[in-house]
């Protein structure tokens, strides 16, 4: 499925959630057992310094989190570490345990080198500072 | 060259953004329906040989502010998930995560040993272990004439 949002970012968006996400190359080898993959819910809000992104990644610790920026794409991949105990019977089930994957298109407005992330109690917080505005540069015109 | 400049109003783009969000939500719903528009937090109840285990995905809460209580055969968990102070309501560009007070009440399938109850919270997952009560043998009640 191709989505229009996955194309070249427009200037009005610093950070666009992408609708398709390739699994990052550095992701650990998939284990033999099949694992579920979920699109985690996110919040994005604006601050004077840039944007802040939050993502719910229950069950993911810092060791299991892979966050990378490549080719203007920010990809988060969270591998759930803890497994539920082997149940004799599941009496009630509202959720399934799985890993998390989501990616975003970053525009040039984001200073890619100053992106910072923190994972607390299963919530990822990513700070995306605004890039300092380029100073106007005067181009000398040499007489021809 | 970037047309957009920081410090300008977002307004011209808000309608478009809203429309894109609406479309994206539709896509998400069809692909990952269970992850959206759901109760918070979501819980599972497992039965082990000697205990029941309730697990709940409650990322981003202070464990000290989590209330776990049992009464009359029900287990109640409650708390509040607050958005960051710095985030103003009108500064959200996207909001999919749950915010606000929440409560879940789950009926326990059997009698439990309340003394042995244990709860721990790791990486945003709450796990409550409820050992089964030893008195599983039926008790005969004498009927008086």
> Mean of the pLDDT values across residues B70-99?
90
- Domain of residue A49 covers 35-81+95-132
- Reported as half-sphere exposure (CB side, CA atoms, 13 A), residue B136 has a value of 10
> Mean of the pLDDT values across residues A33-48?
90
**Does B4 score more than 70 pLDDT?**
no
Q: Measured between CA atoms, how close is B102 to chain A, in angstroms?
A: 16
Strand partners, B129: B53, B118
Q: Which one of A11-15, B1-5, B7-11, B51-55 scores highest in mean pLDDT?
A: B51-55
Give the span between the Cα atoms of A1 and B133, in whole angstroms.
52
The answer to whether position A100 is within a domain reads yes
Q: Could you check whether the bond before residue B41 is cis, i.e. omega within 30 degrees of 0?
A: yes
Percent of chain A whose predicted confidence (pLDDT) is above 70: 78
**CATH code for the domain of A127:** 2.60.40.790
Percent of chain A whose predicted confidence (pLDDT) is above 90: 53
Question: CA B49, B53, B55: angle at the middle one, nearest 5?
Answer: 150
Strand partners, A37: A99
> Which stretch of A79-83, B14-18, B30-34, B47-51 has the lowest confidence by average pLDDT?
B30-34
Q: Do A45 and B87 touch (CB under 8 A)?
A: yes
Tens digits of residue pLDDT in B85-140: 888 888 999 999 999 999 999 999 888 998 899 999 999 999 999 999 876 556 77
The answer to whether position A20 is within a domain reads no
| Beta carbons of B45 and B105 less than 8 angstroms apart | no
User: What is the pLDDT at residue A103?
Assistant: 94
Q: In terms of Cα–Cα distance, which of A64, A51, A69, A52 is closest to A100?
A: A64
> Mean of the pLDDT values across residues A114-127?
96
- CB proximity under 8 Å: B 10-49 to A: 10, 12-13, 16-17, 20, 23-24, 27-28, 31-32, 34-36, 38-39, 42-49
**Does A44 score more than 50 pLDDT?**
yes
Q: Do B96 and A42 touch (CB under 8 A)?
A: yes
B60 pLDDT band, cuts 50/70/90, is very high
User: What is the pLDDT at residue A133?
Assistant: 78
Q: Is A106 on the interface with B (CB under 8 A)?
A: no
CATH number of B40-84+92-134: 2.60.40.790
The torsion region of residue B124 among left (phi > 0), alpha (psi -120 to 50) and beta comes to left
Residue B91 DSSP class:
G
> Mean of the pLDDT values across residues A24-38?
68
Tens digits of residue pLDDT in A61-107: 999 999 999 988 999 999 997 666 677 889 999 999 999 999 999 98
Q: Who wins on pLDDT, A81 or B60?
A: B60
Element (H, E) at B13: helix B11-32
B80 pLDDT band, cuts 50/70/90, is very high
User: What is the pLDDT at residue A37?
Assistant: 92
Q: Where are the domains of chain B?
A: 10-38, 40-84+92-134
> Mean of the pLDDT values across residues A111-119?
94
Domain count, chain A: 1
Nearest to A123 among B38, B60, B121 (CB): B60
């Amino acid at each position: 499925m191709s989505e229009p949002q996955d194309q070249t970012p427009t200037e009005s968006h610093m950070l666009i959630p992408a609708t398709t996400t390739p699994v990052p190359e550095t992701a650990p080898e998939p284990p033999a057992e099949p694992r579920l993959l979920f699109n985690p819910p996110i919040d994005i809000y604006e601050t004077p310094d840039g944007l802040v992104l939050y993502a719910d990644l229950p069950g993911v610790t810092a060791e299991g989190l892979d966050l990378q920026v490549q080719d203007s794409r920010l990809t988060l991949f969270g591998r759930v570490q803890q497994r539920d105990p082997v149940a004799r019977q599941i009496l009630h089930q509202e959720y399934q345990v799985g890993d998390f994957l989501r990616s975003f298109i970053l525009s040039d407005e984001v200073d890619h080198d100053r992106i910072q992330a923190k994972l607390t109690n299963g919530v990822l917080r990513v700070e995306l500072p605004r890039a300092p505005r380029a100073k106007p540069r005067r181009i000398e015109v040499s007489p021809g | 060259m970037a047309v957009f400049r920081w410090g300008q109003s977002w307004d011209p783009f808000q309608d478009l953004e809203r429309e894109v969000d609406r479309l994206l939500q539709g896509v998400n719903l069809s692909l990952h329906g269970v992850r959206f528009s759901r109760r918070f937090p979501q819980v599972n109840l497992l039965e082990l040989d000697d205990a029941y285990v309730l697990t709940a995905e409650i990322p981003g809460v202070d464990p000290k502010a989590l209330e776990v209580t049992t009464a009359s055969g029900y287990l109640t968990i409650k708390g509040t998930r607050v958005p960051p102070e710095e985030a103003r309501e009108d500064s959200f560009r996207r909001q999919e995560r749950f915010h606000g007070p929440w409560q879940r009440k789950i009926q326990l399938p059997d009698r439990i040993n309340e003394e042995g109850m244990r709860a721990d919270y790791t990486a945003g997952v709450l796990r409550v272990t409820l050992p089964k009560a030893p008195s599983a043998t039926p008790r005969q009640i004498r009927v008086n004439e």
